Amino acid sequence: MNTRKAWVAGRFYPEQPDRLIDMVRHLLKKESKLIDYSLGKHQILGGIVPHAGYMYSGYEAVHLYELIRYSEIDFDTILILHPNHTISMGEDLSVTASDAWETPLGKLEVDLEFAKLLNLPMNRLAHQNEHSAEVQLPFLQLFLRQGFKILPICMNHQTVNCALKLAGLIVKTNQILKRNLLVLASSDFSHYLAPDLAYRQDQHVVKAICEFDTEQIFNKVKRHGISVCGFGPIMTLVAYSRMLHKDAIAKVLRRGNSGDRKASDSVVDYLSILFYRPKFA
C-alpha cells in the first residue's frame, strides 16, 4: 500500500497517540458548553474548518467535529478540499496519489474509486508536505465512526471557475457512486493583522458565505486583499451545497484568533462554519 506518512505530527499536533487524544479531550472539555448541539439534528453536508496547530485553532475545530459526532451520521467518504501552501503546481486541481494516509492514530484509506471517477490529475507533491488536509485527519479518527474513507483534493489555483468545476464534478461523481459524503473546506482566515481589523476583513467573506454567493467570496477576497488561504475550497463547498439543496444553510459555530491563546497585536483568524440542510419536526 502506498501510504502518505504524517508530515506535521509533533508540530501541529502531538506525535504520541496518548498526548494527541488527551489534547483533543481538553479542547472539547473547554468548548463543550458553547456547542449548540441542536444543530447536530440536521442533515450535515460539510463545513469550513481551520488548519493551524491544535493549540491555536483546535478550539474552533472541535465545534464542527463534535456536531458531526453528535449527528450519528455514518459518512462513507470525507472529501477534504484544501489549498496549496507548499509548491507551485501546473494543474488547477489534484487528488492525492496515495492509497492511504497515516497519522499517529493509524491509517485512513483513500477512496480511490471516487478519485478515479473525478478524473483529476493525481499528484503526490501537491499533498506530500501540505499540512492543511493532514491536520483534519486525527479529528476525523477521534470523532467519526470507523469505516469511512478520505479523499484529499488540492486546489492549486483558487478561482471561481475551478470551484464551480470541482463542485460539479463532486455532484456528478456521487450521482453514480451514491456515497454519503461529508465535504470539508480547510481554511484559516485573515493572517497577521490586528484583531479588530482581521474581524472586519473576514466579515466581508463570512457574509458572502452565509449568502451562498460564490463570486462575492472571490470578489471580496481580491478587492479587500483578505488573506483567507483556503477561499477556493470555501467557494467549492458553497457551490456544492447549493447544487444539492437550495435550502442549505451556513452557520458560524465558533470564531476566534491566535491572540486568544497568546496575546498579540498580529493574529490569524479561525472560524468553523457548519453547512447543513434543515430538518423540521
Q: Please report the pLDDT score of residue 2 as a whole number.
A: 93
**Residue 141: is its pLDDT beyond 80?**
yes
First-to-last C-alpha distance (Å) of the chain: 46
Backbone conformation region of residue 155, classed left if phi is above 0, alpha if psi is from -120 to 50, else beta: beta
Q: Are 38 and 66 in contact (CB under 8 A)?
A: no
Domain ranges of the chain: 3-277
Which of 99-103, 127-131, 197-201, 273-277 has the least mean pLDDT? 127-131
**Residue 86: is its pLDDT beyond 80?**
no
Tell me how far apart the alpha carbons of residues 251 and 199 are, in angstroms, rounded to a whole number: 17
Please enumerate in sequence order all residues whose Cβ is within 8 A of that of 219, keeping only pairs 6 or more positions apart, or say none. 208
Helices 17-31 + 136-143 axis angle, to 10: 80
Q: How many CB atoms lie within 10 A of CB 100?
A: 17
Q: Please report the pLDDT score of residue 150 as a whole number.
A: 98
Tell me how far apart the alpha carbons of residues 31 and 40 are, in angstroms, rounded to a whole number: 16
- Mean pLDDT over the full length of the chain: 95
Q: Please report the pLDDT score of residue 149 as a whole number.
A: 98
Q: What predicted TM-score, i.e. pTM, was given to this entire model?
A: 0.96
Sign of the C-alpha dihedral computed for residues 32, 145, 237 and 8 taken in this order: positive
**Residue 281: is its pLDDT beyond 60?**
no
Q: Please report the pLDDT score of residue 280 as a whole number.
A: 63
Q: Which of 67, 75, 142, 68 has the alpha carbon at shortest distance from 104?
A: 142
Q: Please report the pLDDT score of residue 3 as a whole number.
A: 96
CA distances (Å), origin 145, targets 70, 78, 100: 11, 12, 17
Split at pLDDT 50, 70, 90, the class of 279 is confident
What number does CATH give the domain 3-277?
3.40.830.10
